[in-house]
Each structure stands twice: as C-alpha cells, then as structure tokens.
Structure 1
Amino acid sequence: MTHINVLDPGASPLDYYGFELRRLREAANLTQRQLGDILNYTGSLVGQIETARKVPTVEFSERVDAALVTGGLFSRLVELVLRSQLPAWFRQVAELEVRAAEICTFQTHVVHGLLQTPAYVRAVLGVLDQSDLEDRTAVRLARQRIFDKAESPVFWLVLSEAALRQEIGGREVMREQLAHMLSFEDNPRINVQVLPFSAGAHPGTQGSFNLYRFVGDPAIVYTEGYGSGHPSANPDTVKDCSLRYDHLRAAALSLKDSAELIRRVMEERYGEQRLA
C-alpha cells in the first residue's frame, strides 16, 4: 500500500494528482472527511485518491475545483490521469483520437468505444476480468470528452449489423446502447451507418480498423489484436484502407436508413416483452 508521506508526485500523473489534492486540502485546513462532505463523497474515497489507490473521475475533479477554488487544475489533470491508466499499447490511440480532425472506423462485433454507454462499457470490459471495473470504465468513457472540444473531430462509424444483434450486457443494456447511437441523428459531426447482413461479402471481411486523418499530418491506420495495437502511416496501407472504407460506406445503409434499422432492432429485439 502506498503511504501518503512518501507519495512521489513525479512517479505518475495519478501520484501527482493525489499529491496536489492533499496539499491543497491541507492548505484549506480541511480533513479528508470534511472535504468529502463538501464534495458529497466519503472521506475514505478522498484518502484513496490522495494515496494514488483510486482513480479520480471527471465529476470528482470538477467538484474539487469548485470546492478548493483551483481554477480548473484538477479538471485539467484528470485527463492526463485517465489517459495514463489506459493499457500501454492503447495510449497512442487515445493520443490519435485527441489530435484527429476526422476519425473513420469500421467495427464488426461491438460498438466503437467512443459511442459506448457506461453499462455497455462495463459489460465489454467485465468479460473474464471484473477487477477495478469501475475505474477501467471511467477511463474508457473519458475518451469521449473529445466530442466536447470546441472543434471536435468528425466521426464516421460503419457498424456491422451483427453488432446490433450481439446481446452484450442484456436486453436493457442493448436498448440503452442503441438509443444512445440514435441520439446523434441530428449531429453532423457524429455519423453512424450500418452495414446490413444483406451486403454479403464486403471489403471489411478482414476485420475492424480505424482511420485517423489530421490537419497537416499524414493519415494513420490502426488495427488491433489481443492485447496489442498496430498503427501504420505507410502510404500504401493508408491508401488501401481508405479505399476499403469508401467501399464499406457505399455498401452500408444511408444515415437515415441506418437509424431506421437501429430503431427497428431496438424495438423488436430489445423492446418490452409482451405476454401472449
């Protein structure tokens, strides 16, 4: 267990966050319990975050900033903390998401992480590993903050119909997830197209992939396997995947028809069960 008196603020973003939280709390002459009462959290949680044993959330950070009048310090720090908690092989992807002007992704079996709901995230991440599930869920959801930026990336998702019908987390979780995707119908910067089963063979049969496009920098293709990621800026690879993506988007349903299919699956497959 990390002892608070030997916490090294230079060890990691999480340690630095905890060190600063303790320093500013003590400067305000507050105990952990008193600060917890102000924030509507337990003093124990405050202590765990101060000793780098618990990952802070965005909401916790915003409340601390308001309570200790920090000028937004912890709201800025928490983004670094959450990004540092991603698996090492995935951190580069999070950086690409932050920098990208356009993100194009094709997904075969699950909804892309940037559009996942909290319950769906927990169901996906909890398979075979329930450890620190709430912290890992918060870390994944934090990536979605890129859509809150003044100039958010344009996001295109081509999603296999299989992902709509693969029941992850149960009926209610899936209903909520599909409803969440429908909530972007009028958002021109977040676009969802469904590749229906009727499309047959298609250019994405080799698997999911992402294309990241930037202002002034070469595009990058990203694929992943079990516990590993494979980014590539090779021009031939980028050209090939760009062509594949164009054909996938052409084979997919229109934005309007995709929304209709999502709505139909949501109601027919995950709607209220009626007794005969």
Structure 2
Amino acid sequence: MIRLIGILAGLFFSVAVLWAFGNGAVATIGQGYLKEKTAESEFHLHPRELNLQSDGPFGTWDLAQLQRGFQVYKEVCAACHSLKYVAFRDLSALGYSEAEVKAIAAGFQVPGIDPNTGEANTRPGLPTDYFPSPYPNAVAARAANNNAVPPDLSLMTKARHDGAAYVHSLLTGYRNLDTFSIDGKHVKDEFPEFTTPEGGHFNPYFANLNIAMPPPLTAAGQVTYAEGQPKPTVDQMAKDVSAFLAWTAEPKKVKRTQVGWPVLGFLLFATILAWLAKNQVWAAIKPKKPRAA
C-alpha cells in the first residue's frame, strides 16, 4: 500500500513538473511570435566585433594602449563619469612611475575635511585616493545631464554584454535618426511615431535607441597622443578607452590566466600520477570470482 502511494505521488509530481514546463514553453514561444514589433526590437544593433590584445586565454595587456585609453578617459570621459573602484596607485600597473602616479592624482580634486574647522572641502588627490565623481551628488549630476545620472565606468565592461565591444560600438555608433536604415528599411518609414526626446541622441547600439549622453568623441585629434602612437581617430580613441575600461573592470585578468595555465597543467600531471600509482598498488590484487549459486 505504501509503495502504491509512493508511486502515485511520484507520478503526480512528474506530471505537475511536465505541465509547468510545457505551459512555460508555450507561453514563451507565444510571446516571441505575438510580441508587437517596435523600433527597439527591429533596429537595435549587436555590438561590432572588437579584438583586443587582452582577449582570449593567452591574452596580455597592451600597456601603450591602456595608457592611451586612460588619457582619453582623463581628458574626455572624466568630465562626467567616475571610476570609484579604481585607486590612483593602481595606475602603476599600466607602466606609470611613482612620480607620474603622484602627479596624476594631484591633478584631481577629491573630497576632504579641513583639519582646522572640520568642514568638508576638496584637496588634491593622493595615490591612495580613488578617482572621484565629477558631481557632488546625483541631483547635481541629473541637473547637468538632461536628468540622467552618468554611470560609474569602473565595472562597465563587466556590467554590459559584450563588454569592451559594446563600449566601442556605443561610442562610435551615434547616427542620424532621419536617415538611419538597416537592409534598406528606415526607422522613420517603419515607425513614424518613433522620435528622439529633447536633449537625447539616437544610437542603435543603445538598448532603447535613445541615449542622453551626447557623442563624447567627435573628431580626430580630440586627444593628442604622444609621438609614435597611432593616429587619434575617433575609432582609435574609442578602442583605446574600451581597452582601458576592460582593465579597470578586471585588472587581474591576465595575471589570473598566466597563473591558471600552470595550475591546470600541474593538476593534470598529478591526476596521471595518481592513476598510475593506483594501477601499481592494485596490480597484484586479483578480484575474487563470485561463488556459483
């Protein structure tokens, strides 16, 4: 009797699980077919491919590119975006000397406290400080950016699908809404009601196609690179700052992979040794034959 009850209970739960799975699958498929087409679903573009030296399991940092990317961030992006999880002293990993790090830190004003009065003030940064926000609070940030708070960029390439490729595509992806088309289909022809709000900008790589941030990189030579470096075109500057943000999001990536491969090799070698030792230890022991019934 107990066995029968157990079998029936098992069948009940199995049917319930299958019903829930089937119902969810049907609902999902139905939504996919019945979902109303929108400008966002039809004209949102996937990020373009971006190949960086740090990509892949054997990637390494291109320190020259990271320094160029930091220069772009400092001269262009830092006016609106912070790097609150990056300390100035971390820049030494990019090849900057101790004196250069101190000079870079001193070029930023960070929140401080007046030791005489105890009042809040600002002071030149120290290597131990973190990159400050350009705004005192979110209210000020919204007031200066068309009611949008510029996000912190420290982990941006980890927070967005396709990471550095997304950042690069976004920075170079601003388009004219009136003329933009895909496969001969124009946005305004397919969706006449779609508009860019006042103060907004059309960018097909952004999720809802409209972004509050104006194009930050607008012309070649906007940032002056050192002699011997690539020409600072808009595309090159976007690549460099994307590589830099890939580093800020995961500064230990290259070191981790460099340590990981020897560890995997050691584990494989140890596994082979353990298997050979097992065969050696048990070689002289023959399994007993089962007795005949």
TM-score range, shorter-chain basis?
Answer: under 0.3
Query: TM-score scaled to structure 2, two decimals?
Result: 0.18
Which structure features the higher share of helix residues? 1
Which structure features the higher share of strand residues? 1
Query: TM-score scaled to structure 1, two decimals?
Result: 0.19
